[in-house]
Amino acid sequence: MRAFLWCNGELHYENLTSKFEDISPLFGVDGGANKAKSFGYNVKEILGDLDSVNIEELNIDGTLLKDQNYSDLTKTINELSKRGFNEFEVLGVDGGDTGHILGIWASLAELSTDLIIRLHHQKSTTHRITSHSGSSKINIGESKLFSVFALTECDNVTIKDAEWEMINQELKFSTRGLHNRALEEDITITTDGILVVIVQN
């Protein structure tokens, strides 16, 4: 079951209309609800520590997630996964405070590996690939650029149908996977850890 999450970063409206016919159900990650409402989208519920949003003013149901050991994004995804959601399209992840930006990537590293998570940036899309993903095919488009970064140490990474392939190789957080090129419409990738594939739009 899929959910859309709107974070409190920058987002250009035209990017949404070209990617999605329907953004529903849509949940606001704390102050991200303000951004979603400003674009005219219906927010089903606001989740987080609720320190950047006025629930009464927006007239939207809110769920307070108090644990300060985790970010609002991590807490929101954990809460929604308990309700049966297992696929997340995350919007509003660009711009803003540098710490919050890095925190979004940290969320991808700490969340359960059985969840499907995609981040939608202004000029790219990030796909999270984990040991639970199996052999994943990602539609990139022939000759288009993509980058791969390991968020955890991976002992066994395979990337096929790319200009620079990897077969059962180690990969850690480094620049090794920066700027590869797809040779086919889809690339195939597997890992025994957690990594991200960033595809240029």
Q: Report the number of distinct structural domains present in the chain.
A: 2
The answer on pLDDT for 11 being more than 80 is no
Are residues 38 and 137 part of one domain? no
Structural domain harbouring 62: 2-122
Q: For residues 193 and 154, is the Cβ–Cβ distance under 8 A? A: yes
> What is the structure's pLDDT at 60?
92
Residues 134 and 118 in one domain: no
One domain, residues 188 and 151: yes
> How far, in Å, CA of 131 to CA of 129, rounded?
7
Compute CA distances 176 → 44, 108, 166, whole Å.
41, 19, 11
Give the per-residue pLDDT at 22: 85
> 45 and 91 share a domain?
yes
What is the reported pTM? Answer: 0.94
Assess whether pLDDT exceeds 70 at residue 16. Answer: no
Distance of CA 96 to the CA centre of its chain: 16
Q: Using one digit for the tens of pLDDT, what is the confidence trace for 125-168?
A: 999 999 999 999 999 999 999 999 999 999 999 999 999 999 99
Tell me: do 101 and 22 sit in the same domain.
yes
Pair (104, 18) in one structural domain: yes
CATH no. for residue 152? 2.60.120.320
Same domain, 175 and 91: no
State yes or no: pLDDT of 40 exceeds 70: yes
Strand arrangement, sheet containing 124-130: 62-64, 45-48, 26-29, 2-6, 87-91, 116-120, 124-130, 194-200, 145-150, 180-181
CATH number of the domain enclosing 94: 3.40.50.10240
**Model confidence pLDDT, tens digit, residues 171-195:** 999 999 999 999 999 999 999 999 9
In percent, how much of the chain has pLDDT > 90?
Answer: 80
> DSSP string covering 72-139, please?
HHHHHHHHHHHTT--EEEEE--BSS-HHHHHHHHHHHHHS-TTSEEEEE-SSEEEEEEETTS-SEEEE
Residue at which a domain ends, from 122, 156, 178: 122
Asked whether residue 12 carries a pLDDT value surpassing 80, the answer given is no
Residue 56 pLDDT greater than 90, yes or no? no
Last residue of a domain, one of 73, 90, 122: 122
**In terms of domains, do 68 and 137 share one?**
no
Cβ–Cβ under 8 Å, residues 28 and 65:
no
Alpha-carbon gap, residue 88 to 116, rounded angstroms? 6
- Is 112 in the same domain as 30? yes
Point out the domain boundary residue: 107, 122, 137.
122
